[in-house]
Structure 1
Amino acid sequence: MTHNPPDYELADRLALTGPDQVKAIGHPLRTTILQLLHERAATVSELAQAVGRPKSTVAHHVEVLTRNGLTRVVRTRRVRAVEERFYGRTARMFFVAAEASPAGEGLPGDFNDFEVAARESATAFEQGRLWGFIRHARVTEDQASRFWQRMVELVDEFDRMPRSGATTYGFAVGLYPTSGPFLVSAQSPQDQGGSTGSSNSPGR
Structure 2
Amino acid sequence: MSDVPQSVDARTGVRRDYELDEMLDLDEPQQLKALGDPLRLLICDLVLERAMSVTEIAERVGRPKGSVAYHVDVLVDAGLLQIVRTRQVRAVEERFYGRTALTFMIEGTPGELGFIRDVVAEVDGDRLREIAAAGKADDEGWGTATYRHARIPHDRVAEYTRRLHELSLEFVEEPRDGDVEFGLYIALFPTNRPIGRS
Q: With structure 2 as the length reference, what TM-score do the two structures score?
A: 0.77
1:182 is displaced (CA, Å) by 5.3
Aligned length: 177
Q: Secondary structure at the match of 1:37?
A: helix
Q: Is this contact kept in 1: 2:38–2:123, CA < 8 A? A: no
For residues 81-131 of structure 1, the C-alpha deviation after alignment (integer angstroms, 9 at most, x for no partner) is 332211000001112356xx9xxxx84763326535751633762683311
1:31 is displaced (CA, Å) by 0.7
- Letter of the aligned partner of 1:10 in structure 2? L
Match 1:81 to one of 91, 95, 98: 91
For residues 18-76 of structure 1, the C-alpha deviation after alignment (integer angstroms, 9 at most, x for no partner) is 11111112211111110111211111111111111111111001001001110011111
RMSD value, Cα: 2.7
- Alignment CA distance shift 1:13-1:116 (3 Å): farther
Partner residue of 1:111?
A: 116
Q: Is this contact kept in 2: 1:16–1:94, CA < 8 A? A: yes
Answering whether residue 168 of structure 2 is matched by residue 155 of structure 1, we say: yes
Larger mean CA deviation between 131-140 and 76-85 belongs to 76-85
- Alignment CA distance shift 1:123-1:179 (3 Å): closer
- Letter of the aligned partner of 2:127 in structure 1? S
Q: Which whole-Å CA distance do the structure 2 matches of 1:165 and 1:63 have between them? A: 30
Bigger radius of gyration among the two: 1
User: Structure 1 unaligned runs (5+)?
Assistant: 186-204
Q: Which one has more relative contact order, counting CA pairs under 8 Å at least 6 apart?
A: 1
Partner residue of 2:29?
A: 19
Partner residue of 1:166?
A: 179
User: Structure 2 unaligned runs (5+)?
Assistant: 1-12
Match runs of 1:1-204 below 5 Å = 4=14, 6-96=16-106, 107=112, 110-112=115-117, 115=121, 119=125, 121-122=127-128, 125=131, 128=138, 129-180=142-193, 184-185=197-198
Percent identity (aligned): 42
Q: Secondary structure at the match of 2:85?
A: strand
Q: Which whole-Å CA distance do the structure 2 matches of 1:66 and 1:165 have between them? A: 29
